[in-house]
Every structure is written in C-alpha cells, then in structure tokens.
Amino acid sequence: MTTSAPTSHHKIPFLDRDHSILAFNLRVLDWARRSEVPLLERLRYLCIVSSNLDEFFEVRAAPHLSAYQINEQRGPATASTYLAITERVKQLVAEQYAIYNNEVLPLLEKRGIKLVSYSERNPRQRRWVRDLFVREVQPLLVPVGLDPSHPFPQVANKSLNFIVRLSGRDAFGRENEIAIVKVPRVLARFFRMPSVKGSKQSHFVSISSVVRAHLSDLFPGRQVTEFAQFRVTRHSDLAVDEEEVKNLRTALRKGLQQRHYGQALRLEVSAGCSEFLSDFLLQQFELPPQALYRVHGPINLVRMTQLIDLVDAPALRFERYNPGWPVQLVPGQSFFDRLQQGDVLIHQPFESFDAVLAMLREAVHDPDVLAIKQTIYRTGSNSELMELLREAVRRGKEVTAVVELKARFDEEANINYAERLESVGAQVVYGVVGLKTHAKMMLITRREAGGLKRYAHLSTGNYNPGTARLYTDLSYLTADEALTHDLDQVFLHLASQNRLPKLNKVLIAPFHLHKAMIDAIESAAQQAAKGVPARIIVKMNALTDEPLARALTHASQQGVEIDLIVRGACILPAQLPGVSDRVRVRSVIGRFLEHSRVFYFRVGDHEALWLSSADWMNRNMLRRVELAWPVSDPALRQRIMDECLSAYLHDTRDAWLLQPDGQYVRAQAGTTAKGRAAAHHSAQVSLMQRYGSKG
C-alpha cells in the first residue's frame, strides 16, 4: 500500500504531534486577545479553544495518563510525556481564563452586558433567581448523599456537577458528609434576567450560579459547609472490533451508551475548591494530582456559546458575510447543461454551498436522473441533503448512500440517518471493514440522448450546510467521463468490496494516494538534484505522517523549494539547518476554519495540482478511504493557485511561521520602498471582498 522515502544522512528531529496540537490552540487563542476582533467573537474563540481541549483529552490523552500511572511506556507515550503535556495545557488554560476575566468580561460589562454573580445580585434579582430555581431547576435536581448503599454516582463526560460537604446528620441519624448534585444537560446554561425599565443593560445569570445560590434548599436540616463545581473529561474515542461484530450499527449504538463513562482523564474544579474536596474527587476518579485543573471562572467555557446566542448586539459580532453565488454558475441554469461546457469550482464559504444543494435538488426532481450515489460523513442536524435523498427514493430513483458510522462524535446522527434512508428503500452501505470512508463525493447518473451520462460533485469538505459557512473548502463539479467513471468504480468497490480496477485519474487511499504523493515528492527531488527547478506547495490541515515528512525533508536537501500551509499539527521542523533548509511552514488562523487540501508540484515546466479529502496523516493515508483528483483545466488550476496557495503564502495578518524549534511567530508585513510599514494582507478578507454578495 505504501513505500518508504529514502532516509537522509541526518536523523530528522520530528516535532511532537501533541505539542503541535496545543500550539495550534495557542494560535486560535490569539484571536481572543485581539482588540480589533468584535467582543462576542473574542468570547467565541475562547469557547473554541475549550472545545478543542475537550477533544484533545477525549482522543489523545489516555495513553499518556496510562503510561504515567503504570510508569511504563505505551507507544510514544511515557510518564514524562504526560507531565509535559499537562504543564503545557495548564499554561494554555491559565492564559485562556486570564483573557476571559481580565479583558472580555470587563469589556462586556462596559457595553452593558453582565453576568450577575451570587454576591452582586440585589434583592429583586435574588427573588427572581429563587423563583427560577423553584420553578424550572429544582424539580430536575436529585442530590445524592454518599453512604455504603449510595456509592459515588456515575458522572457523565463533561457534565456539570456540584460536590457538597454537609454538617449535621441525615434523616437516619448518620453523618455522611458528602453529596453530589448533577446538573442535567436539558437545563439551559444561561438565563436573561428582567431588565430595569428604561435600562439598556442586559443582565444574565448562569445555571451554576442559580444552583450555587440554593444548594442549602436541597439539604433541609443540614448545613452546607463547603462546595465546588466540578467536571470530568473522559476518554471518548469509540473502539469497535469490526471483524468480531455481526452488526456494526448495533455495536456502535451500545458503544455510544458507554462513551459518556469512559476512563477519566481530567478533573476541572472551581478555583475555590478545598483540597479536601478535590482530593476526594481525584480518589473517586482514580486520577493523579496532575490531572486536577483549578479554573477561575466557568468550568465549561464551551457552554458560553449559549450566552453569545442570547445577546442581541450585532455591533459586537462579525459583520454578517453573505457568500455570493458561484461565479461560474448562473442562477436558474441547469447544472447538467452547464457541466457540458466544462468543470466548475466553488470556493466555500466565499461562494455559496447552496449551489451544491441546488445541484442535488435538480437531480432529485429531474425525471431523466436514474441514480444518485453519495458518501455521508458529517452532514449536520436536520439535513436538507438527507431529505432530498429520501425524496429521490420516493420518486423512484436508485439511491446508494455510503454512510460512515464511525465519524467521530457524529456516530449517533449518522446511525439515525442510515436508518431513515433504509426505511424508504435506499441502499445503505457502511464502507470497508476497518477503514473510515472519509471521501466526499456524489455521483448522478442521467439518461440522455447519447445514452447514460454521469455528473459528479467532489469536495475537500463535508456535505454540511452549517460548516460550509464556516470552513474554507473546495467543491468541484464535473462531467468528465474519465473522472466520473473512476468515481463509479469507487462506489462499486465500497458497496461490493471487490478489487478496484485500474483508475484513470483518481488516487484513492489506502491503495494509491500515499505512494503517489511520496513518488511525486521523490521525482521532484531527483530532478532538483540534476539542477531542474522544482517547487512543492501543499495546503492541508495536518502533517503528521512520518514517511511523507521524511520525503519532504529529503527533497529539501536535494534542492526542492517547499512551502507547507498547515493549519494544525505539523511534525516537520521548518528551515532546520542541514535538514529542512528549504522547507517553510506557515499556519493561517482566520475568521473561517481553513479546511481545503491542495497539493501542487512543479518540476521545470510541468505542473500538477490535486485536490483531496485527505490530510497528510498516517490514518488518512492508510486507515481511511480518501480521494485525490487532478485539476487539469489550466484556468481552474490557476484560480486555485491564486486563491488557495499564493494568497495564503502572502498573508501577513492571520499567518504564523513555524520555527526550527517548533515555536510559531506571527508573520510580518514588511516595509514599503519608502521604509514604512506595509499594510497587512489577509487572504480570507480579500476573498470575502472578491466574492461576497452585495445584496
């Protein structure tokens, strides 16, 4: 399936992947620091960092903690890697809460938006909070006193809880002093308080503050001597042995029930939590002291997004961006007619993803369309796409959906979608055993005068209208016979699991993609060694595959100029003397999440450009079904180079440059010919100005 790149005479000091992920979150956190960013958006970036850290612990932390607890190496994880990661995360969290407490909250208050704490509430506000507690909160709370017959309860992953210490005796005369109060997820996390007539101020109260104010009401006859909020993060990466299970869907449903109660990895408590209570919790969750995180604020900043949604202050948000209709398309024109003239590129979110839905909608309602095949990875909730596929079945079309049940944290939604599609008669398949189907493709077969004709949509991103407004991706529409024939063969392979025939244009992982990329890098290296100018530019979300990183390093040593635009984790050190002198790595963190994957190779006068669903990670290359397809149209290829590569290589506002030691520094704007500071350039802002709807 793969090959190894020639090794250099130098041992390559690859950067640590987990530390690179944490460094990415520092770059995201920088947006929360920027004074020019609207205030609620600064708060949103704090929430994004919290969400990213949650996923980091849920997916990446377990081997490190286990290695520390047993003091043995587990793969690359050791006791020392656990301590190093813990120290790095705690520094990041400290910076996060410093921005929250010292900058964002005071500035919000100046704008009349205030979270009113327990001690700040006036008598009228206290009465209102008490009424809210009695009416909506207390009926859903079940305090659990701990004793031999009531051991420590199961605490779900990332749920909000209180631990309470009590004096006195319970109803049976016992001195059990510890109780746990779970705060159900069905409760809103923030409530708008009634405003004073004529006041422009907006006051809010958090659910944790509401419960805190009335903890004593839950324990009549007892005195609450101390309490603290707490939250535990658990290992949540589902592991199902597909070779052993008879029904993957059923096995995943069972796994989803257990996900909320996986191995405990991190314990967050409010800063004022006593050592007695924190030690008790650490003991219950079988965690070392290093796993304790004391936070000066809400223990789950992710839920602050609910507060952002409650605030009516457009001036404190990004100005609404309305994507334009794709420039290569005419509203109302048949997609099938248009694709007879040539391929179409849609650059999301600068151009509207609605065009993709419009293409599917036309296919569903066109009586000449006989079949629709589509991969489903992440489509979001209440998906119009799913309803269109169901409608296609009702209209008598053959619908095949390759549903990836193991899309992390979307498993339940995809299981539900699969069942709904099957219920109306769609053919649903779950891909290849042991591999995730991450390729994004749709194939439409239509009866035309000359026979059957295929039309396709391929994408670097998901069929999700929500993320299509937030992620940069490339959609590619084509009627190219060789390309659509390849896609038909890939769908047949996924359904039948027969061997793939030789494909015309498409590269597919885990069979061809990895080797083809290494071969392309090595070919450039061989020509550069002969004095032929060679250039590689790759844009992707992550570079963590060692054979590919090794091949790039070798190519650099042979004279290939290499620019890597890597949003997140990158293990390849940039411009390390004698190792990667010609490798430059930059990360662009903007208003939209960079998500498109573009692979460009130029050797002498020959150019090749590929779009792909795959990052350069080992899992994408060897454990997933991924696609890469060539862009042969010179005009489209130049457009991609201009918008996705060149524009980002010249970004000086949102770009960060990787240093040889693994640190990132902000890109500088440079100076003008007159020695003045040049204006900053933002690739995303330029594209928004170019394609945004003026309506």
Which residue ranges make up the annotated binding site? Answer: 52, 378, 408, 471, 567, 595
Among the listed residues 64, 203, 347, 438, the single catalytic one is 438
Question: What whole-number distance in Å separates Cα of residue 186 and Cα of residue 137?
Answer: 10
- Please tell me whether residue 384 adopts helix, strand or coil conformation: helix
Binding residues for ATP: 52, 471, 567, 595
- Between helix 248-259 and helix 411-423 the angle, nearest 10°, is 150
- Angle among Cα 258, 431, 478 to the nearest 5 degrees reads 130
Buried b (16+ CB within 10 A) or exposed e, 100-131: beebbbeebeebebbbbeeeebeeeeeebbee
Question: What whole-number distance in Å separates Cα of residue 6 and Cα of residue 522?
Answer: 9
Residue carrying structure tokens 């004391």: 294
Could you count the other beta carbons within 10 Å of the beta carbon of residue 485?
18
> Which token pair is 68?
């520390």
Binding residues for Mg(2+): 378, 408
Buried b (16+ CB within 10 A) or exposed e, 317-350: eeeeeebebbebbeeeeebbebbeeebbbbbbbb
Q: Whose CA is closest to 57, among 239, 266, 289?
A: 266
Q: Whose CA is closest to 431, among 627, 237, 625?
A: 625
Q: Whose CA is closest to 348, among 456, 479, 476, 455?
A: 476
575: left (phi over 0), alpha (psi -120 to 50) or beta: left
- Is 19 catalytic? The answer is no
Question: What whole-number distance in Å separates Cα of residue 186 and Cα of residue 288?
Answer: 31
**Residue 495 burial (C-beta neighbours within 10 Å; 0-12, 13-18, 19+):** middle
Residue 517 identity (one-letter amino acid):
M
Q: Active-site residue numbers?
A: 438
